[in-house]
Structure 1
Amino acid sequence: MPDNLTQSPNFSAIDFLRTRSLANVVQAEIERMIVDGELKPNERVNENGLSQQLGVSRGPIREACSALAAMGLIEIIPNRGFFIRALSNDEAQDLSEARAAVFGCMAMMLAERVTDAQIAILRALLQRMDEIVELGDYHVYYPVNLEFHKQIGEMAGNNRLHLIYQSFVRELHIQRYRALASQDVLKISNAEHREIVDALESRDPIRALTAGRAHILNGIVRTRNAGRPGETAASAPSKPARKSRTAPNATGKS
């Protein structure tokens, strides 16, 4: 009897870790379903349906949805449940402009301290994306694109700015992913990446700031051009459309 009592806390800890691990797997799958459009904006999360589809209990699904709500991909409505969040046009615009400012700032900071080894890492990612562009596969391009941006954030050396930037990235996953699906966008996107790396290699902070910010602002235009019914339409009426604010020399190509 005493042995059972002493072992019980250990079993509880193992069960807790197992549940957490399962919730992480479920979270990744639900996030994929949101980005791929299997779960639509404003759609209620069917916990029972997901439980059967994924072969798990509702506990990990609820835990995963709560984590995704903290990331901004899911909205919790009291007494109604979890709903796939739909960004309004104004919310997406505000988030994208804030992301452009932070990314440009990180590129500027990195230009002041970048090493040859770091440039080599970024050049390798550029090469990999060039190869994917030839295939025209945006499903493969997108994660490499995310890694390129993430590397710049980490290399800049300011953890607070990087965390802020990543929070914007999570909320804008759907819009960015679908924008890359448009014709010729991959080639344009990587040409802008190359301009950023060229600016970093020249150790020119102002050029890096301009190139980094322009890349994100051009992405706003690409996202708008790639808009699909229900993609960014929120239930509340949108405010009048605002003119896009672009950086100097930003082409706004789609």
Structure 2
Amino acid sequence: MNPSETKPIAFLQQHSLPDLVQMEIERRILSGELTAGSKLNEALFAELLGVSRGPVREAFRALEASGLVKQEKNQGVFVRQISVEEADEIYEVRASLDELVGRKLAQQITEEQLAQLRDMLARMDQHVDNKNVDAYAKLNLEFHDTLVQMAGNRKLLDTYRRLVNELNLFRRTALGQKGSLPISTREHHDIVDTIASRDATAAGEMMRAHVMESVSRMHKARAGSTPN
């Protein structure tokens, strides 16, 4: 057997059925296939995924805990809708978390980790050149998640991932704004360079500023999509 053929088997062995159902529904939400406000039908997902309704029900509960869906009494389960005001509040919290991440990484990052980040930046640059917003958005999420993972604080990572889930639709809209990709990737290069300089204060401030620029891009994107 080809070693690559064993990977799906190992993946299935490491995850329960509710976990797999959750990951598939989460993928559909984060990709935009299931839009904000969409009602999720338990029986339909059970049929689509070839499982009983129990694992789907458990997946819905886990997705609610992660901030992606909400259950309304006597109405069902819906993909969450985040207001602009709530998004601003989430970004404010995320800015503080990112500042902490920047400070920690400047003090502890390894050369191997820096090389990993720079490899990701090179791939981001390619997506910018190709104007591939979808590929860039996916790698953008991976880049920031990697930064937080490298900080080495599990609670911080869990909190960060919940915030990112809630902000996903806003972020994709902002990145699609004309001229945003080159600005975003330039900020990423600045972040990595500042972390590599080992200046904890500057790295923290750089990461906070990047989040606040994301807020600005989000508002500009929404304003541009609103009819006069």
TM-score normalized with structure 1 length: 0.75
Q: Which residue of the other structure, out of 11, 20, 30, is the alignment partner of 1:25?
A: 20
Using the TM superposition, give the Cα deviation of residue 135 of structure 1 relative to its aligned residue in structure 2, in angstroms. 1.6
Counting only pairs closer than 5 Å after superposition, residues 168-187 of structure 1 correspond to structure 2 as 168-187=163-182
Number of the residue aligned with 1:109: 104
Preserved contact between residue 34 and residue 174 of structure 1 (Cα < 8 Å): no
Aligned CA RMSD, in angstroms, stands at: 2.4
Quick one: which amino acid aligns to residue 196 of structure 1? I
**Residue 199 (str. 1) matches residue 194 (str. 2):** yes
Q: Which residue of the other structure, out of 96, 100, 111, is the alignment partner of 2:95?
A: 100
* 1:112 partner SS: helix
Quick one: which amino acid aligns to residue 22 of structure 2? Q
- Are the structure 2 counterparts of residues 46 and 136 from structure 1 closer, same or farther at C-alpha, using a change threshold of 3 Å? same
Which is further off, 135-144 or 53-62?
Answer: 53-62
Counting only pairs closer than 5 Å after superposition, residues 117-196 of structure 1 correspond to structure 2 as 117-196=112-191
Unaligned runs of at least 5 residues, structure 2:
1-11, 224-228
Preserved contact between residue 91 and residue 212 of structure 2 (Cα < 8 Å): yes
Preserved contact between residue 191 and residue 207 of structure 2 (Cα < 8 Å): yes
Counting only pairs closer than 5 Å after superposition, residues 174-253 of structure 1 correspond to structure 2 as 174-227=169-222
Counting only pairs closer than 5 Å after superposition, residues 84-95 of structure 1 correspond to structure 2 as 84-95=79-90
Quick one: which amino acid aligns to residue 75 of structure 1? K
* 2:19 partner SS: helix
Q: Which residue of the other structure, out of 53, 60, 63, is the alignment partner of 1:65?
A: 60
Preserved contact between residue 30 and residue 165 of structure 2 (Cα < 8 Å): no
Using the TM superposition, give the Cα deviation of residue 195 of structure 1 relative to its aligned residue in structure 2, in angstroms. 0.6
Number of the residue aligned with 2:9: none
Number of the residue aligned with 1:41: 36
In the TM superposition, what whole-angstrom CA distance separates every residue of 1:29-75 from its partner, at most 9, and x where no partner exists?
Answer: 22232233332322321223333444433333222211110111100
Number of the residue aligned with 1:235: none
Distance 1:71 1:227 in 2: 25
* 1:226 partner SS: helix
Distance 2:221 2:43 in 1: 33
Which structure has more helix as a fraction of its residues? 2
Preserved contact between residue 35 and residue 177 of structure 1 (Cα < 8 Å): no
- Are the structure 2 counterparts of residues 184 and 25 from structure 1 closer, same or farther at C-alpha, using a change threshold of 3 Å? farther
In the TM superposition, what whole-angstrom CA distance separates every residue of 1:170-206 from its partner, at most 9, and x where no partner exists?
Answer: 2222222332222222221111100101101111112
Give the total of aligned pairs. Answer: 213
* 1:86 partner SS: coil
Structure 1: which 4+ aligned runs deviate by more than 6 Å? none
